[in-house]
Amino acid sequence: MKRITFLLSLLFAVTLAPAQTKIAFINSATVMEQLPEAQDAQKQIDGLAQQWQTELNQMAADMQKKVDEYDKRKLIMSDKRRAEVEKELQDLDKKIIDFRNAKFGTNGEMFAKQNELMKPIQEKVFKAVKDVADEEAYDYVVDRSSSTMLLFANAKHDLTQKVISNLLQK
């Protein structure tokens, strides 16, 4: 819905604007791939994700061992002991879920770390886009790699390489 609204607004603005309205596009994914600090930040994020995933896998393996052990012995356990072990397993399961949410959830450490590392880089890219758009006198610059659907774009209006050059010169 947002894409359609954005495209209709852009189309409406272009049709009502004077004939000299200039629109260009970039591919921010390409910019980020070629920016050394973005690559370094992504490596840090990937390293953390791998570390946390390893911890999560170990917790799950430990839980599975305990479940298997419980399944083997539950018939010879007293009702009281069976209830205690089941409670321990539930607590362990909750601990795994809490860990996953704390690390990978929407407000988890991964999200915070991505924001901390990538936000300054994104601001730098936005500034470079603005600088290039100002130099080239573009009225609108659309990101081709985002969720905005760009049905057609003439390559002569692609500012991606100019933005990369602008970023690498600084």
For 132-168, the pLDDT digits (tens) are 888 888 888 888 886 665 545 667 778 888 888 888 8
Band the pLDDT of 2: cuts 50, 70, 90: low
pLDDT, the chain, mean: 85
| CB neighbours of residue 32 within 10 Å | 19
Band the pLDDT of 6: cuts 50, 70, 90: low
Mean pLDDT for the stretch of residues 84-98:
96
- Residue 3 in this model has a pLDDT that exceeds 70: no
Cα(65)–Cα(92) distance, integer angstroms: 12
The partner residues of 23 in beta bridges, in order of sequence, read 140
Domain residue extents for the chain: 2-169
- Residue 36 in this model has a pLDDT that exceeds 70: yes
Read off the pTM.
0.70
Task: Retrieve residue 142's tokens.
Answer: 């659309």
User: Quick one: DSSP state of residue 157?
Assistant: G
pLDDT at residue 11 in the model: 55
For 43-88, the pLDDT digits (tens) are 999 999 999 999 999 999 999 999 999 999 989 999 999 999 999 9
* Residue showing tokens 């049709």: 15
* Residue showing tokens 């839980």: 63
